[in-house]
């Protein structure tokens, strides 16, 4: 339980779901974490449960100045920064014909611009610590098209592309590994709303269920750890086989 011992991480969107599960998993593996979010009350509750190993920073990922403040707060509290988990994101499903400019701008600014600003903001601090890792949360919608996801999917495809370019630019001796994680359906409030309308929505997955946030966090821990020291520029799907294709029939029947 010490795969991240001595490391310091900044985790955006940490007030719930995958973000809070990742914060708990990191602390459980020996890391200290700066949890950031625009939802201050929920974020502070997460940090309260983690004790002295965590701090909370109110942080809008669309703002470069707030990124600088978040990085400075992490370094001031813990003396270094080794890991960024770019997790903050928003989901505004809408078909092509119904997407509004306001919704498109919001999704782009949080999901894509926010991650770009984050990688820029942490690079110097992580290099100063001797190198480290960035894990960008993308989506299965960043590897395949899904109806109603034209803007969300576009931002998640962009995360996938930015990850590969950043891995090239930030690598080298003492450099930074950069990888993207592509979850399918995860047990969150968002997915619960979908399941409410169609309780059998994931029955045709090879693994016919949604993931837990803890399962996604476990993958993030691995990619952030030294065990993944030769993995960079990779896109890792964790989707119950969704992208492998639907289970249309049982070959054993």
DSSP-based three-state secondary structure for 211: strand
Residue 108 among the catalytic residues: no
Q: How far apart are CA 124 and CA 143, in angstroms?
A: 30
Cβ neighbourhood burial of 64 (10 Å; 0-12, 13-18, 19+)? middle
Tell me the pairing of strands 176-183 and 132-137: parallel
Q: Which two tokens stand for residue 45?
A: 């509750």
* DSSP conformation letters of 48-92: HTTGGGEEEEE--TT-HHHHHHHHHHHHHHHS---EEEE------
Report the 10 Å Cβ neighbour count for 50: 20
Q: How far apart are CA 168 and CA 160, in angstroms?
A: 13
Tell me which residue has tokens 């690079």. 123
Q: Which of 26, 78, 152, 202 does the annotation list as catalytic? A: 152
The rounded Cα 88 to chain-centroid distance in angstroms is 7
Annotated catalytic sites, by residue? 152
């Amino acid at each position: 339980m010490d795969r991240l011992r001595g490391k310091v991480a900044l985790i955006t969107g940490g007030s719930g779901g995958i973000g809070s599960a990742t914060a708990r998993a990191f602390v459980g593996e020996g890391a200290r974490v700066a949890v950031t979010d625009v939802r201050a009350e929920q974020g502070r509750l997460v940090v309260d449960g983690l004790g002295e190993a965590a701090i909370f920073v109110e942080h809008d990922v669309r703002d470069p100045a707030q990124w600088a403040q978040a990085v400075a707060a992490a370094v001031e509290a813990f003396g270094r920064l080794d890991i960024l988990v770019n997790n903050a994101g928003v989901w505004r499903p809408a078909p092509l014909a119904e997407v509004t400019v306001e919704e498109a701008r919001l999704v782009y600014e949080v999901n894509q611009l926010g991650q770009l600003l984050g990688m820029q903001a942490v690079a110097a601090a992580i290099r100063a610590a001797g190198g480290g890792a960035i894990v960008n949360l993308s989506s299965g919608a960043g590897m395949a098209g899904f109806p109603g996801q034209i803007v969300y999917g576009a931002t998640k495809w962009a995360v996938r592309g930015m990850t590969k370019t950043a891995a090239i630019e930030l690598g080298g001796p003492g450099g930074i590994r950069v990888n993207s994680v592509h979850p399918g359906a995860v047990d969150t409030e968002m997915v619960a709303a979908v399941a409410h309308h169609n309780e059998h929505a994931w029955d045709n997955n090879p693994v016919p269920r949604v993931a837990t946030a803890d399962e996604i966090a476990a993958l993030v821990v691995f990619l952030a750890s030294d065990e993944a020291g030769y993995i960079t520029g990779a896109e890792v799907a964790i989707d119950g086989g969704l992208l492998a294709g639907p289970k249309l029939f049982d070959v054993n029947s």
